[in-house]
Amino acid sequence: EPEVTQTPSHQVTQMGQEVILRCVPISNHLYFYWYRQILGQKVEFLVSFYNNEISEKSEIFDDQFSVERPDGSNFTLKIRSTKLEDSAMYFCASSRGTGSGNTIYFGEGSWLTVV
Amino acid sequence: KQEVTQIPAALSVPEGENLVLNCSFTDSAIYNLQWFRQDPGKGLTSLLLIQSSQREQTSGRLNASLDKSSGRSTLYIAASQPGDSATYLCAVRAGTGNQFYFGTGTSLTVIP
């Protein structure tokens, strides 16, 4: 069964460093998403991406975050200058469309620890 | 803003029992609702999707129902097995936009 794949599975970084999290969405999907889950808290929406541009973003997704689809298969989340509070599990997701019958599929996540 | 609540936060049952997990949401103008399973430290596995026009969906031992007007969904698991032990999350997609609003989950333990 097709799946969303994410790398790295775990990354430890120093505060202030830049981090890039990578995702390969399901191949025939057109909509891509990033969510995050701080330990013990709810899964939260960050951003959705379609046709090479951001279609929606939350208030969490401020200027330190950016997303990119650098080629036909990868979808990346960049955090420019990491803070301690960015420590979380980051999930990439994709869906074929946005109709009410479209299932959203999540990857295994990337654990980011900022020290 | 849509708020999603799941009760109970944790549930422990003996193997073979049927059980119900509850999800409630504050804004009934939803587009769809999806139930997920999350194993510790792992990603989210989609279980069932219910569109706003539907009342229920079934997959194997799982049955999810939706009552939009009362802002509730339930996930029924029949004949529970130890392998069902995980956290179950419900997520609601609002009538506008693409984002899902997640509940805090129900942690299920099925005791052999």
Q: pLDDT tens digits for A77-103?
A: 999 999 999 999 999 999 998 888 889
Give residue B41's pLDDT. 83
Q: Please check whether residue A77 is in contact with residue A49, taking contact to mean a CB–CB distance below 8 angstroms.
A: no
Residue A52 in tokens: 């090479």
The string of pLDDT tens digits covering residues A10-65 is: 999 999 999 999 999 999 999 999 999 999 899 999 999 999 999 999 999 999 99
Report d(CA B12, CA B26) in Å as an integer.
Answer: 27
pLDDT band at B47 (very low <50, low <70, confident <90, very high): very high
B75 to chain A, any CB pair closer than 8 A? The answer is: no
The answer to whether the CB atoms of B34 and A111 lie below 8 A apart is no
More confident call, B97 vs B3: B3
Residue B8: is the preceding peptide bond cis (ω within 30°)? yes
pLDDT at A111 over 80: yes
Closest Cα in chain B, distance from residue A108 (Å): 4
Is there a contact between A25 and A75 (Cβ–Cβ < 8 Å)?
A: yes
Q: Which residue has the tokens 């805090």?
A: B104
The nearest CA of chain A is from the CA of B14 a distance in Å of 26
Which has the closest alpha carbon to B66: B86, B52, B47, B48?
B52
- Residue B31 sits at the chain A interface (C-beta within 8 Å): yes
